[in-house]
Chains A and B, each alone.
Chain A
């Protein structure tokens, strides 16, 4: 029997703003607990929310980037739930008229994206396995309470964990490009829930779905979804029903545990928030926001492919790291050779960034310096092997590529006399191979070339070596 997984995602993104969603407290991560709080976000009696215009614009930027339709009017609703992380005992959210309506991103349909406020951070200590029930005390940090949050909901258009991971990677890069969020999973500014169901291949009807909560890396999301697909398929294979549930994925044991079942589902008693007025973005405002968006990763990917002839994987990988892509484009323009530029950027330069932890544009190896090195290689003034040593030296030495090549003695031995002497030595030292070559084993040209390169300390120009070898060996 073959099974097909159907996956939809709910993604929460904390928006980058100076202040919180409905009050003027700083929206800042990492401050001492309960320092960014006021009477509004602590829900003192009589306090009223005022919607943050910048947060609305940030959400609109994301909506536009995801190809969402932006309705002329959206409204706010109260989502009632009682928990220590929600001082009003309701969350201001958007229920039936979201800010961003249907869109499409990498072929996955976006159902909606709506604005809401984040809850406070709670920690339950002293028993209870981290849950409020049975705990000795609950500690609440209201700094996060009221942080602007955008919830993006997709249609169930994904079919596997790897596909979900790629979608999320591109989505994150796109949101980061809009400037709306830093999408940092570790800080919780990006949080993902996945709805997973499994059905018989070819079936139209959806299976029973389970929700995987709050997985904290894209790798774990991929693995969690895969584990859930295996779990559901095994149940179905055994003829057992899948029960609707919310699950927690434990990456250490690669297993899933049930947080709660459908019977415990909440009734949020949504109703229109009477303290706020609807959001009605004007067409002119939306046009201005759209026009001010930077080039987004998917667009850039296409352009890198088309303009520079880069392979898909290279184009995607560069488009996902805008700083590196900027560096690449600058380098390609200076060097006049996109292929060589891509090889350097994806190879040595990326390795150097990883090792040093620096940003592309903070690197001492500027595009101009690296272009100089690429030019030397193209001229044959340094071998590609030698060029890697020059590159390594450039990181800590401000001298230009030519000077470093000279200083390191890596200038290519190009003149025929000097090279001829080395070739003669190598051939004299390998009579058996010479005989074999002359007997028809022409692939030994590689062996001789390597020997000459070695003898020259890597300074010989491989092309010149080969032509000399052929001349000496008599074709």
Chain B
């Protein structure tokens, strides 16, 4: 047979090929590894692959017999601890660090018979919206290599969009799954806080971090969610999902009460994004949903609150990286100089900035005005959402105010970079699930449509996403890839 193409191949599709014995697990894995070899030199979605381990697992499944989703490859954000395999979180300071445990999500994937292809690029410690803050160089956007893929899980999104993996896992602290999914024209889900274990996930902001899936369509996202959302006693904040994940079948939105929090759009949305967003809202009506308008009066303060809470938690979470026990160490005449030199060399500018902000916000005399006030705002935002969900089944917003932007466009303007997450981070502050699906192209670039629901309403969001996806018929394969360029 002709060499298997991984471009546009979904996880469900790959499993069907395996079921039909059209390919073996080894052949499937080799196809992805070949694709990575062919294009990732330019794309830089993966920080590292481990072909021997990948093929050994594939061979074991071929020999031992497989069924269902077993044997389908996956890519993992480099934020997840992988036993014996270097895990850097995109930072120099963890260079060479080989965890002694697997993150729960890594274990869950292995339990399900998924085969890891490698570790995906990301903004350092998941701090960023463009993957330009990776200490190992940025990932490019498969739709246009002059543009960023979004971030922080840029590698996870780009790999799926470019056919380097059928699906992948990322994390979302303020939009780090949904925004890169939007920029790369694929589907991404940020689950409810507590649905997926954070055990072994290198911490950025512990009260906001959540692991979630990237895939080419909503059904794959649902399938991967069903694998990773499980109860893990090693994470006290984890509860799993109250009901099993349902593979979405919905073709319409009849009986659903949806709402657009119109006040949020005042933050400013690019014209092309705004037009596609309104068109998609209309499509919801056409599919039978009742769509209203509502407000989230305090969500506008979400950006300010987020940039106090997340850096504060990060300042504590990152204080352990000192060169003493693992990762990078820069030798120096005495221990204090060793700490300073290691951190100077090991942390990038954005990470240093956030450590400084967080340390300041928690300091005696400033705590109440900054961290304390931000927590009060967070409570108000939670209440805004809770009130809206008394009347509506889900809220609709653009995923990001713009399409993918060029490298360097916001790199030296942190506030502009932060503003890119204005529609996603209130969802993290409230601990809610948010799904981003592609809703069309603006100037040839994908635009994300975000569906936000109450806590643990993942099945509802997946159903809405699925019905919309069927109606929109978005083709997630970038034209330049179809044309054989990349």
Contact = CB atoms under 8 A, between A and B. Distances in A.
Interface of A: 39, 42-51, 78, 80, 82, 84, 87-90, 132, 138, 267, 269-271, 274-277
A90 B316 contact: yes
Contact of B319 (A47, A88, A267): A88
Given A50-B234, A275-B236, A89 B199 contact: no
Contacts, number: 98
B345 interface: no
A45 B325 CA distance: 11
B97 A45 contact: yes
Interface string B85-104: 00101000010010111010
A132 to B, nearest CB: 7
Given A50-B233, A275-B237, A39 B99 contact: yes
Contact of A80 (B94, B207, B326, B362): B362
A189 B213 CA distance: 47
A50 B197 CA distance: 13
B316 A51 contact: no
Contacts of B367: 269, 271
A274 B319 contact: no
Contacts of B198: 46, 48
B320 A271 contact: no
Contact of B312 (A43, A87, A138, A271): A271
B379 interface: no
A274 B320 contact: no
Contacts of B321: 45
Contacts of B319: 80, 82, 88-90
Interface string B354-389: 000001001110010001000000000000000000
Contacts of A51: 236
Query: Which of A43, A45, A51, A78 has the largest number of chain B CB atoms within 10 A?
Result: A45
19 contacts: A39-B100, A39-B101, A44-B101, A46-B79, A46-B81, A48-B235, A49-B236, A80-B319, A84-B335, A88-B316, A88-B319, A88-B320, A132-B335, A138-B335, A267-B364, A269-B316, A270-B362, A271-B362, A277-B237
Contacts of B201: 46
Contacts of A46: 79-81, 99, 103, 198-203
Contacts of A82: 319, 322
Contacts of B103: 46
Interface in B280-329: 312-313, 315-316, 319-322, 324-326
Contacts of B79: 46
Given A48-B235, A269-B363, A274-B206, A43 B81 contact: no
B236 A45 contact: no
A371 B220 CA distance: 82
A43 B326 CA distance: 10
Given A84-B324, A271-B312, A277-B236, A45 B94 contact: yes
Nearest to A42: B325
Contacts of A89: 316, 319-320, 322
Query: Which of A51, A84, A87, A275 has the largest number of chain B CB atoms within 10 A?
Result: A275
B203 A45 contact: yes
Interface of A is mostly: loop
A218 B237 CA distance: 42
A372 B103 CA distance: 68
Contacts of A276: 236-237
Contact of B200 (A47, A84, A274): A47
Contacts of A39: 99-101
Given A87-B320, A274-B237, A45 B313 contact: no
Contacts of A48: 198-199, 234-236
Contacts of A84: 324, 335
**10 closest Cβ pairs, A-B complex:** A89-B319, A274-B207, A269-B362, A274-B206, A45-B202, A46-B200, A46-B202, A267-B364, A43-B320, A46-B201
B316 A50 contact: no
B379 to A, nearest CB: 13
Nearest to A45: B202
Contact of B99 (A43, A44, A274): A44
Contacts of B80: 46
A90 B364 CA distance: 16
Contacts of B199: 46-48
Contacts of B326: 44
Contacts of B313: 271, 274
B430 to A, nearest CB: 15
Given A45-B202, A89-B322, A277-B237, 13 more contacts: A39-B100, A44-B81, A44-B100, A45-B94, A45-B97, A47-B199, A48-B236, A90-B319, A269-B315, A270-B362, A271-B362, A274-B206, A274-B313
A164 B300 CA distance: 56
A275 B209 CA distance: 11
A39 B104 CA distance: 14
A87 B97 contact: no
Nearest to A132: B335
Given A45-B81, A271-B371, A87 B236 contact: no
A113 B94 CA distance: 38
Contacts of A50: 233-236
A50 B321 CA distance: 22
A87 B325 contact: yes
Contacts of A275: 203, 206, 235-237
A44 B202 CA distance: 9
